[in-house]
Amino acid sequence: MSQAAASHAAAHGVEPAESPLTPESWGKLGMWIFLAGDAVGFGTLLAAYGGMRATSADWPVPYEVLGINLTAAMTFLLICSSVTMVKALEWLGRGDRGKCKTFLLLTALGGAIFVGLQAYEWTHLIHRGLHIDGNPWGAALFGTTFFLITGFHGMHVTGGVIYLLAVTGVVARRPQAAASYNVVEIVGLYWHFVDLVWIMVFTFMYLL
Amino acid sequence: MAAEHKHPNYMAIFWLLAVLTVVEIGVVFLPFGKLINGTLLTGLAVGKAALVAMYFMHLKFETRTLGLIAITPLAIATLLVFIIMPDAFYVDHKTANVKPAAATPAKH
């Protein structure tokens, strides 16, 4: 966009056609800013978790109480779903909408299985006595923080699955592959972010 | 547009992430104590998160300013930890003083 056109747009209160940071689309910049805000949310939760754990004399050892076999598998599943996500974008870039839709649906399936496994894990732990206001192993806040943080992340995955299905619909409706590229790239940013946050949650809440 | 993006070797990143996850689980059982194990695990997690952000989210191929937007939450979260830490140590110190005092009357 030329300077003259930019000043013309500014003078008439029209949004410039190109984002200075993400020339592909304003939507992409919007998603990055949203994710930065969301990351502060997760960062705050994890910092608070660290603070409460450090001040507690009877915090249970997470990997002994929670078990890490299932969550390690869930971590692997999310990493796999990040790969199917990049493959969806790669195929769309090559103009193959069919393969893009397949990989988007596989990504959504990975997310749905993740949420299912999380529901299974929660049910199992609740039966063993882990509750939001107490547990048999020590500090009550252990259960509070566990359900709050993994639940907040699980909500993100659930939202992501719905978002992925909606974007698959967009790819199906638009006949030109190039017309959906930004939309798929933006849902990809969200999905990889959910994967990135899980890497942090898995380390800080299960392994440490 | 699409064609301008360089595509990294996604499968290599995937295997690297998978191997680092296995390494992380191995680190949990190392006998080096909380501090060293914790530092190793945090380093591995930050490394894995950086791989996802740089290659899967294409941050490596974006403008520097976008990178600054992305890194800001990490800086804020790190600051938060340092803000909370003195409070954590204060409570520990206070509890350490209270415990013997509370135990003494019971001996009489």
Summarised one tens digit per residue, pLDDT across range B3-22 is: 445 678 889 999 999 999 99
Domain ranges for chain A: 24-207
A50:B72 CB<8 A? no
| Same domain, residue pair B35 and B58 | yes
> How near does any CA of chain A get to the CA of B107, in Å?
23
66-95 of B, contacting A, C-beta below 8 A: 66, 69-70, 72-74, 76-77, 80-81, 84-85, 87-88, 91-92, 95
pLDDT at A91 over 70: yes
152-171 of A, contacting B, C-beta below 8 A: none
Q: State pLDDT tens for residues B41-57.
A: 999 999 999 999 999 98
pLDDT at A98 over 70: yes
B14:A200 CB<8 A? no
| Same domain, residue pair B47 and B95 | no
Q: How far apart are CA A128 and CA A138, in angstroms?
A: 14
Q: How many domains does chain B have?
A: 2
> CB of A95 within 8 A of CB of A89?
no
pLDDT of B33 reads: 81
Q: How confident is the model at residue B98 (pLDDT cuts 50, 70, 90)?
A: low
| Same domain, residue pair B3 and B56 | yes
- With respect to residue B8, please indicate whether it lies within any of the assigned structural domains: yes
| Same domain, residue pair B56 and B86 | no
- Indicate the CATH number for domain A24-207: 1.20.120.80
Structural domain harbouring B17: 1-62
| Same domain, residue pair B48 and B93 | no
pTM above 0.80, yes or no: yes
